[in-house]
Amino acid sequence: MMETANNMQKKSSSLNLADLSYLTFNFVSTIAVTVINKICFSKVDFGFPAALCNIHFLVTLLGVELLYRANKFQKVQVNLWEKNFLVIVLVVGIVTPLNNTSLKLNSIGFYQIFKLLVTPCVVLLEYILDHKTLSRRRSVWLIAVCAFVLVSSGADLDFSAYGTLCASLWVPFAAAYKVQWGRVRRMYQCSTLALMRAVLPYAICVQAAISPIVDPPGHTKSSSH
């Protein structure tokens, strides 16, 4: 009995360590992607948000496909014309170009403040659609994190009118994306990687379709010096 309890305790500790490492990697990679994207827009002078999104998505899809070929997750069968799947494809294809356009036209601090608004919108949307509520403990942590980000972003608030419009449009789309992703994953009872493999090819097509609206002309032409 004692040996079983020790094994369970070791398993729980290893799971907690794995969860912590995943969260740390997600936190660091999110910051890194934001900074690198901003460098692309401001320093490298690659001012094409939707095209940059497709580059990200193609690289991500390649990585997911390699994991699938390595038998790290099971394939999920989806119906493209099923309403919930179609919604997540459209939302994923729209939300990221809006996000990158906001980052391109606004400072990182201003971008982070709008990103901060997504979480309360997710909580509200989950309450409306699925009647989910946050525990008091999670609410306190959410307020603390939001306050920290708000204070740390306060010194960098350069923005433009069009950038603010894109950020304002992005917030509800981002909240819908996070909520709908969870709903679709539960509906198909699949892993996140399996759903990414199913969604990303279609989302790339959506991004390519809206690229002429979001991106300025010229990304298919070579620059002349």
> Whose CA is closest to 103, among 57, 155, 159?
159
Q: Are 49 and 104 in contact (CB under 8 A)?
A: yes
pTM of the prediction?
0.76
Question: What letter would DSSP give residue 70?
Answer: T
Q: For the segment 169-201, what is each residue's pLDDT rounded down to a tens digit?
A: 999 999 999 999 999 999 999 999 999 999 999
197 vs 70: CA distance, rounded Å: 14
53 vs 57: CA distance, rounded Å: 6
59 vs 36: CA distance, rounded Å: 15
Q: For the segment 125-159, what is each residue's pLDDT rounded down to a tens digit?
A: 887 877 777 777 777 776 776 676 666 555 566 77
24, exposed or middle or buried, with CB in 10 Å at 0-12, 13-18, 19+? exposed
174 vs 99: CA distance, rounded Å: 9
